[in-house]
Structure 1
Amino acid sequence: MQQTQNGEKPIPINSVCEQKNNKKNAKSSKKPEKIEIPAISPSSLGSAEFRKDYCIKYAYLAGGMYRGIASKELVIALANAGLMGFLGTGGRSLNDIEQDIICIQDALKEDQAYGVNLVANLDSPDSEIALIELYLHYSIRCIEAAAFIRITPALVLYRLQGIYKDQHGAVRTKNKVIAKLSRPEVANQFLSPAPMHLVQQLFALGKITPEQVELSQSIFMCDDICVEADSGGHTDRGQPAVLLPAIQTLRDQKVLEHDFAHKPRVGLGGGIGTPNSAAAAFVMGADFILTGSINQCTVEAGTSDLVKHMLQDINVQDTDYAPAGDMFESGAKVQVLKKGVFFAARANKLYQLYQQYDSLHSLPEKIQTQLQDKYFNASFEDVWTQTKQYLLNSNRSQDIERAEHDEKYKMARVFRWYFAQSMKLAFTGSEHARVNFQVHTGPALGAFNQWVKGTELEPWQNRHVDQIAEKLMQDTAALLSKQTQQLITLSHVAG
């Protein structure tokens, strides 16, 4: 070893590093001091104002699922537990919806929370108006507006009924709208006052008063927004970590722009089936969460026992995307069950054929035979006869006339029949027809199934919507408490 100029031997670099490491190890060997923090409770998650406004104990909603899968029993069970669910109304008759509303109102007290779903009906705006007038007749105070791409007269009519000024002069409304959406341009419309041309249209029809016209520009079109990430059923395949912050930022901008009395809350739905996913939503600042797929595999869900048996065993990879039957020509997608069924593959095949050919007659004979024998189990003529009857019953004779003159449109109507039929088969639960079941669901249910595997909640017969909500919120709070405790302890040690 070389000597320095003063004759001293230099200290090897390795020795210096070793001394530092020894000191560091000695310091780190001390047991971290645990900083105790109060446990996070499920009732503290999300927006306190949201819970207060809807008179619910948790910032937790259950969304309205198609054709009454979100049944009256589901809505009543959640209300009795101090929570809120939405009655599923899409694809159902006015009479059936009315009977469910009567049943719900007979079963619940006035201060118990519930809502009713309103699905956009692009084909029949008059049906939207009829449904809203039914809701107004029964004093439904909250709707979940789903699948809207623009504000419609029906939404404006509902929003403006019961609008008033409070004792401080602030404009309020009795009818609450929670807009379920996945696109910023749609959120922008709900975070704006009612379009004035629609307001004037309703006034001209005598459906709203001059005072309602005047106050219409002083409120947003929604009370709250549920950002819908990739979900079961209709989906834009949105990513929650991208969508939620974007809509939150837009909300803040619109609040500053308008300075209205009410600030809409922004929650998150789609993909929520475990405490981890719920915790992620609340950490990102969601004011509430909304569940869907996990509720369709419960005792209260309005679908067949066979479907529930099929759903209780799926994993996160057991779903696929297919064309949406109600928006078939546009190519809109729904997320559906893939495991054990052929629906997704067959539905996508029908859409490919629709794009490639101009009529049923132009299809190759082999494909015509395949569709009629395996997909439809009926001839094209029989399917068209049933479709015509449906359109007549729906007062849509103009669609029949169009189909008689437009072969491609007629093909679309015949193909649409398969989507309606596959949904009916799933509801009836016919074993011999299970390969054609159309079951709207998302991977959140697969994650839920893995979470509860080996517990009493593994069989669907033990799953109740209110118990699932309670367990999910309790375990989410416990998870957040644990993670917060670890972060604070590590931060203290590092400091």
Structure 2
Amino acid sequence: MTSSPLHSESSASTGPVEARRAFPSQQTAGTALDIYPEWLGDQRFSHQHGSRFCYVVGEMARGIATPLMVIEAVKAGLVGFYGSAGLRPETIAAGIDEIEAGLGKNAPAWGANLIHSPQQPGYERAVVDLFLARGVARVSASAFMALSKEIVRYSARGLSRAEDGSIARSTHVFAKVSRAEVARHFMAPAPDKLLAGLVSAGDISTEQAELAKLVPVAADITAESDSGGHTDNRPAGPLFSSLLRTREDACAEHGLSPDMIRIGLAGGIGTPWAAAAAYQMGAAYILTGSINQAAMESGLSPEGRKLLAEAGPADVAMAPAADMFEQGVEVQVLKRGTLFAMRGKRMWEIYKARSGFEDCTPDERKFIETALGEPFATAWERTRAYMQGANPKELALAEAEPRRKLALVFRRYLFFGAQWARDGEAARLRDFQIWCGPAMGAFNEWAKGSPLEALENRTVRQIAWNLLDGAAHITRMQAMRATGHDVPGSAFGYQPGLFQ
């Protein structure tokens, strides 16, 4: 059995096949097919976004998906998203400058992250203003439970009539969802009330509002299954089929063609077998996240990347989310080598049981101050200083209610867990918060004994090309088996190598 064109057992390969080959117009039943990585997924996706492959290097918040990661992803033929969520607008602007310097102005196949931020009034608007002013053509929308006026504004502002009468988009929303009821909002046209408010405020034109009534808010829906960070731990198969059904229902309700909406799959994709399975289910594209945190271009510290490289598939846990602590929302994080998940969970239990720090038992107070690394009073003064500028209204409520004060201090610890992991704060190694799903451990098991075991060889290019080439090989083996060939199980193996 020959391997697919991207495969390299050593570093001697020159990389993926350099020219696309025309897809055969007819196939004869019972013959083996050549299958190339470029053919995996929905070709309308790569055509629309200007990528070679239907593969997205997903955003990882607070700059873990760095501008360099975006640049290298695009150069490798992928779509790359800058992890701009949670960063200050001026920091995001500097990141956009770096991307444009590396790729050129108006380069295709890249975008940035917009995270729903109800606890930071004005933040979403400031970021959307920046994206529109700088011509960021793609936005990955995450943590949205419903549409906000800002994501609708971004989507509608890019709508226009093409010369042939069709509706053209210059702003593309990728909606990352894990529930059908959330996906339905993005699969439908924007609500009239939201559009009318945006027109009244001068945020969009009347023509843009009318066009927005004829197309879905997002043409690309990313089904987020068991991923790192914010996740509902959904199994990929049931989630994907649920979103397929939701697309049918939403399009029937609003008179849209289902082909207007592409559904990709993310979460748990860390090996060629997972990638092949996603494409076989009908995913228009795949998105990888956790495995890219260990890449050389990642914004995670070398210490954090080393911890990730040692993880197994079960070395993950759920912990409270800093941005939605009081609501009980959790994120999936690395468990191996850190105490973050355990400490975060105990903080949540204390918050539920106590009316404030003064109400805690001596053991609880000792635990809190040990985790914080300083007296509670000192931690509160630092928190207070920040909140005076970030959200004075919430600070005023906390000053009057000890339980809110406790929550804000806990949120600060949870926030800094991720910051310490990015900065490589050696003294806080046990408090590193590293967003991670089981895909990371699966990747490590697959890469063991290969060139990709070494961290210095893990780049977004090497990771993606190995996954894509392996997925094409596995798909070809399955196609041969499905057309009557005797294909042994050993033929489905694929060992990673390096490409030049």
TM-score of the two chains, using structure 2 as the length reference: 0.89
Please name the residue that 2:167 is paired with.
171
Please name the residue that 1:268 is paired with.
265
Note if 1:244 corresponds to 2:240: yes
Give runs of aligned pairs for residues 31-430 of structure 1, distance below 5 A. 35-109=30-104, 110-260=106-256, 263-372=260-369, 374-394=370-390, 396-430=391-425
Structure 2: how far apart are the matches of 1:466 and 1:490?
Answer: 33
Please name the residue that 2:494 is paired with.
none
Contact kept? 1:293, 1:445, Cα under 8 Å: yes
Q: Provide the aligned length of Structure 1 versus Structure 2.
A: 457
Structure 1: how far apart are the matches of 2:319 and 2:408?
Answer: 17
Structure 1: how far apart are the matches of 2:80 and 2:148?
Answer: 24
Structure 1: how far apart are the matches of 2:315 and 2:81?
Answer: 26
Contact kept? 1:115, 1:144, Cα under 8 Å: yes
Is the deviation greater in 193-202 or in 311-320? 193-202
Structure 2: how far apart are the matches of 1:470 and 1:290?
Answer: 13
Instruction: Quote the offset at 1:287 in angstroms.
Output: 0.9
Instruction: Quote the offset at 1:252 in angstroms.
Output: 2.1
Instruction: Quote the offset at 1:171 in angstroms.
Output: 2.7
Is the deviation greater in 384-393 or in 374-383? 384-393
**1:102-142 alpha-carbon deviations (Å, 9 max, x no partner):** 11012113343211011111212410010000000100011
Contact kept? 1:82, 1:112, Cα under 8 Å: no
**1:148-190 alpha-carbon deviations (Å, 9 max, x no partner):** 0010011011011131122333333211001000011100100
Instruction: Quote the offset at 1:85 in angstroms.
Output: 0.9
Q: Secondary structure at the match of 2:80?
A: strand
Structure 2: how far apart are the matches of 1:378 and 1:93?
Answer: 27
TM-score of the two chains, using structure 1 as the length reference: 0.90
Point out the structure with max Rg over C-alpha: 1
Contact kept? 1:192, 1:221, Cα under 8 Å: yes
Change (3 A) 1:63 1:484: same
Contact kept? 1:142, 1:177, Cα under 8 Å: yes
Structure 1: how far apart are the matches of 2:31 and 2:207?
Answer: 56
Structure 1 residue identity aligned to 2:324? M
Instruction: Quote the offset at 1:50 in angstroms.
Output: 0.8
**1:22-45 alpha-carbon deviations (Å, 9 max, x no partner):** xxxxxxxxxxxx954122111111
Structure 1: how far apart are the matches of 2:338 and 2:450?
Answer: 27
Instruction: Quote the offset at 1:430 in angstroms.
Output: 2.4
Contact kept? 1:39, 1:478, Cα under 8 Å: no
Note if 1:443 corresponds to 2:438: yes
Structure 1: how far apart are the matches of 2:365 and 2:348?
Answer: 14
Q: Secondary structure at the match of 1:329?
A: coil
Structure 2: how far apart are the matches of 1:213 and 1:265?
Answer: 22
Structure 1: how far apart are the matches of 2:165 and 2:119?
Answer: 40
Is the deviation greater in 331-340 or in 164-173? 164-173
Q: Secondary structure at the match of 2:452?
A: coil
**1:16-75 alpha-carbon deviations (Å, 9 max, x no partner):** xxxxxxxxxxxxxxxxxx954122111111101111101111110011001111000100
Contact kept? 2:100, 2:107, Cα under 8 Å: no
Contact kept? 2:64, 2:422, Cα under 8 Å: no
Structure 2: how far apart are the matches of 1:141 and 1:224?
Answer: 13
Structure 2 residue identity aligned to 1:167? E
1:475 corresponds, among 459, 470, 478, to 470
Change (3 A) 1:216 1:360: same
2:447 corresponds, among 438, 452, 457, to 452
**1:80-103 alpha-carbon deviations (Å, 9 max, x no partner):** 122111000122111111100011
Structure 1: how far apart are the matches of 2:98 and 2:455?
Answer: 25
**1:348-393 alpha-carbon deviations (Å, 9 max, x no partner):** 0000111111111101122112211x20011112111111222223
Contact kept? 2:142, 2:177, Cα under 8 Å: yes
Structure 1: how far apart are the matches of 2:376 and 2:221?
Answer: 43
Change (3 A) 1:112 1:206: closer
Structure 1 residue identity aligned to 2:223? V
Contact kept? 1:80, 1:112, Cα under 8 Å: no
Q: Secondary structure at the match of 2:483?
A: helix
Is the deviation greater in 83-92 or in 178-187? 83-92
Structure 2 residue identity aligned to 1:185? E
Structure 1: how far apart are the matches of 2:364 and 2:253?
Answer: 57
Structure 2: how far apart are the matches of 1:51 and 1:209?
Answer: 30
Contact kept? 2:33, 2:479, Cα under 8 Å: no
